[in-house]
Amino acid sequence: MSEARTVVVTGGNRGIGLATAKLFVDLGHRVAITARDPGHIDDRILAVSCDQTDSKAVDVAFEEIESNLGAVEVLVANAGITRDQLVLRMSDDDFSAVIETNLTGSYRMARRAARPMLRARWGRLIFVSSVVGLLGSAGQVNYSASKAGLIGMARSMARELGSRNITANILSPGPVETEMFAALTQEQQTTITEQVPLNRVAQPEEIAETIAFLASDSAAYITGAVIPIDGGLGMGH
Ligand code: NDP
């Protein structure tokens, strides 16, 4: 096993984030999760309340995590929302709320996480984007813009922080069986699944495995990469 690390998973109280947090704990790491309303999920995981649209809340959350678990070494920027609407009907608020949570919120978390990583000269920034960031998606102009934005942002961080042994990588999942996917109509779910060459949706644990790999010593020379986990939907784009 790689050395035990302090890991923060945003949006870790359900779905992909929860599967990721559980896997990191099982691998022997110190794990905190953040969410607006995290609740109690597992005695082994520190659950911290943090709305990542609020810079002050991000600072307070990091202080709580650092005082309990030590400096953050791995950030999994996973929290995200959708507000689907066709472009002509999409309100400014629908657009900006999604950008604010998915892109700016991830930026706030990564900016704060990078500070101790720079001092330690070791760090892993892992951003959960989506296949639609590069593929586009009707009804998801806001969401796909936020997910494409994560790629440019992470690659810039990869360049800026690489000399200090900090990597920044992006995951690009296809459909995953979580509450976010369940919120789609049955018809939408079927249409999406039929487009996937592997002809099924992913389980959250399958995404978690790749995130854990990117955080491990085995991935030390991977940075600025977009890793597709999409059953072939994006054909490796
Ligand atoms: P869920 O909807 O199940 O979970 C989203 C998480 O984000 C929750 O923990 C939620 O917690 C948290 N969150 C939302 N807003 C905020 C906020 N302002 N501050 C802090 N936390 C917040 O999503 P999934 O597990 O399905 O998705 C996880 C990530 O994977 C997302 O970024 C999503 O875009 C991406 N993804 C998902 C796919 C899928 O098919 N499911 C496909 C491709 C990518 P709370 O509400 O308590 O704040």
Identify the pLDDT of residue 93: 98
Angle in degrees, CA 82, 22, 157, rounded to 5 = 60
Q: Which residues contact 207 (CB under 8 A, 6 or more apart)?
A: 16, 19, 20, 128, 171, 173, 176, 229
Q: How confident is the model at residue 2 (pLDDT cuts 50, 70, 90)?
A: confident
Q: Is the CB of 228 under 6 A from ligand 1?
A: no
The per-residue pLDDT of the chain, averaged, comes to 97
Identify the pLDDT of residue 237: 84
Residue to probe by mutation, ligand 1, list 56, 78, 147, 206, most atoms within 8 Å of CB: 78
Residue to probe by mutation, ligand 1, list 10, 14, 65, 181, most atoms within 8 Å of CB: 14
Q: Is the CB of 231 under 6 A from ligand 1?
A: no
Q: Which atom of ligand 1 is nearest to the CA of 201?
A: 40
Distance CA 32, CA 236 (A): 31
Identify the pLDDT of residue 236: 86
pLDDT digits (tens, 9 = 90+) for 55-95: 999 999 999 999 999 999 999 999 999 999 999 999 999 99
Identify the pLDDT of residue 1: 52
Q: Is the CB of 21 under 6 A from ligand 1?
A: no
- Could you confirm whether 143 is annotated as catalytic? yes
pTM for the complete prediction?
A: 0.98
Identify the pLDDT of residue 198: 98
Locate tokens 């700016």: which residue?
104
Nearest CA to ligand 1 atom 2: 180
Q: How confident is the model at residue 41 (pLDDT cuts 50, 70, 90)?
A: confident
Helix 141-161 and helix 105-120: axis angle, to 10°?
10
Of 34, 91, 40, which is closest to residue 64 (Cα–Cα)?
34
Q: Is the CB of 123 under 6 A from ligand 1?
A: no
202-225 average pLDDT score: 98
44-57 average pLDDT score: 98
Q: Which of 107, 127, 143, 181 is catalytic?
A: 143
Nearest CA to ligand 1 atom 41: 176
pLDDT digits (tens, 9 = 90+) for 143-167: 999 999 999 999 999 999 999 999 9
Q: Does residue 11 carry a pLDDT above 70?
A: yes
Q: Does residue 112 carry a pLDDT above 80?
A: yes
Q: Which atom of ligand 1 is nearest to the CA of 79?
A: 7
